[in-house]
Amino acid sequence: MPENTVMKEQLCGQKQILVLFGSPHKSGTTARLLEAFLEPFPNAKIQSVNAFERNIAPCNACNVCTTAEKCSIADFDEIDSLLRGADVIVVATPVYNLSFPAPLKAIVDRTQRYFSARFSLGLRPPIEKHKLAALLVTAGSLDLDGADIISRQLKMVFSVMNTSIEGRAVWAGTDSDKGCQTFAAAAKSAKDLALAIKSKL
C-alpha cells in the first residue's frame, strides 16, 4: 500500500488494525479465532498480511540496517509501511513445533531492522506511533508451551517496536476439539481482549 494512503487514513481518524496472519488455512481454526477478535471493530480499517501468501524472505543478517535505516531486501517495504501506520497489531497464528510457522517467523525476524534502528542507530523509538498488540494462538494440543514461547518471542520483538502486548487468546486442543466448547471459551477471550483494546484507542 502506498504511503500516502496510510497518511490519508490517519488524517481521517480511522483506526488501523494490522493482522499478521500465520496460518496456511483461510478458514481454519486460526481464522475462526481471528474472526471473533475482529467482531468488535466494524469500522476499523483492517489490513491483513497473509504470511504464507507473501512468502517474505528470511533475515540474512547482512547488517545493512545497522548503518542506515533500511533493509537490503525490498519485499518487507510494504509491511514496514503498514507497521508504522497501524494502531493495533494482531498476530494470529497456529503453533508449529512450539513456535511460529516458518513464513511468519521470517516476518518476525525481518523486524530486526527496528532493533538495529534502536540500538545501532540510536533511534528512540524506532517506530514513531505507539501500538497496542493482541496475540491469537491456536494449538493442536492442550499444552500451552507453544503459546508461551510465541508470547515470549513477541514480547521481546515488540518491546523495541513501541508496541505493547495487551493480552492473548489461546484456542488449545484444536486437534480434538474442532468446533466444540473450547472454541466458545477461546472466542470469548478473543472478543474480550478486542473490547479491552478498543476501549484504549
Number of residues that this document lists for the chain: 201
Which stretch, 6-14, 89-97, 159-167, 188-196, contacts ligand FMN (CB under 6 A)? 89-97
Q: Does 103 bind ligand FMN (CB under 6 A)?
A: no
SS3 129: coil
Binders of ligand FMN among residues 125 to 144 (CB under 6 A) are 138-141, 143
How many angstroms separate the CA atoms of 23 and 29, rounded?
9
Reduced DSSP (H G I as helix, E B as strand, rest coil) percent helix, strand, coil of the chain, to 5: 45, 20, 35
Q: Does 116 bind ligand FMN (CB under 6 A)?
A: no
Closer of 85 and 103 to ligand FMN (Cβ): 103
How distant is the alpha carbon of residue 98 from its chain centre? 17
> Which H helix or E strand runs over 73?
none
Smallest gap from residue 149 Cβ to ligand FMN (A): 9
How many angstroms separate the CA atoms of 98 and 147, rounded?
7
SS3 86: coil
Out of 36, 37, 47, 94, the only residue in the binding site for ligand FMN (CB under 6 A) is: 94
Out of 151, 162, 163, 174, the only residue in the binding site for ligand FMN (CB under 6 A) is: 174
Out of 25, 70, 152, 188, the only residue in the binding site for ligand FMN (CB under 6 A) is: 25
Out of 65, 105, 146, 190, the only residue in the binding site for ligand FMN (CB under 6 A) is: 146
Out of 6, 10, 28, 50, the only residue in the binding site for ligand FMN (CB under 6 A) is: 28
Q: Does 98 bind ligand FMN (CB under 6 A)?
A: yes
Cβ-closest position to ligand FMN: 28
- Identify the bridge partners of residue 96 per DSSP, sorted by sequence position: 99
Q: Which amino acid is at 84?
A: R
Out of 35, 81, 96, 125, the only residue in the binding site for ligand FMN (CB under 6 A) is: 96
Q: Does 16 bind ligand FMN (CB under 6 A)?
A: no
Q: Does 104 bind ligand FMN (CB under 6 A)?
A: no
